[in-house]
Structure 1
Amino acid sequence: MYYPVKPEPKRWEDFKTINLNKCDDVTLEPDDSYILGCKTDNKDCIFVRRYDQLTPQEKSLLKL
């Protein structure tokens, strides 16, 4: 018996615009990695933090 093979998923764009509702004063640098704090989707993000500036407690919560 043969099963239809699904095509590979389309690659997401690497660059997207995300509205950070409460982070108007944040300037993101192109070569840095960031963690976004979103409740359920990229539409309700409320904080952004540079990855290399996470506290040990935040890393623990994120299971990093």
Structure 2
Amino acid sequence: MIPLRSAVDISTGELIDRDMRRARLLAARRKPIGSIPRRGILSGHWDGGNVVGAFRGGRGSFIAG
């Protein structure tokens, strides 16, 4: 698996920013949501949705809702 420091965005091919790396890590630390695997979250396949987006800008929570 590629370290997140050198990970690239799957849609643009550019390095991901610090906030997106943090959001991915926080989203992957939660219990899996439905059938979304942690590997999919860390690889960037859920960046556009609410799984990772919930942790951008301080909107995320570790409380299952």
State TM-score, norm by structure 1. 0.30
Larger Rg: 1
Q: Which structure features the higher share of strand residues?
A: 1
Q: Which structure features the higher share of helix residues?
A: 2
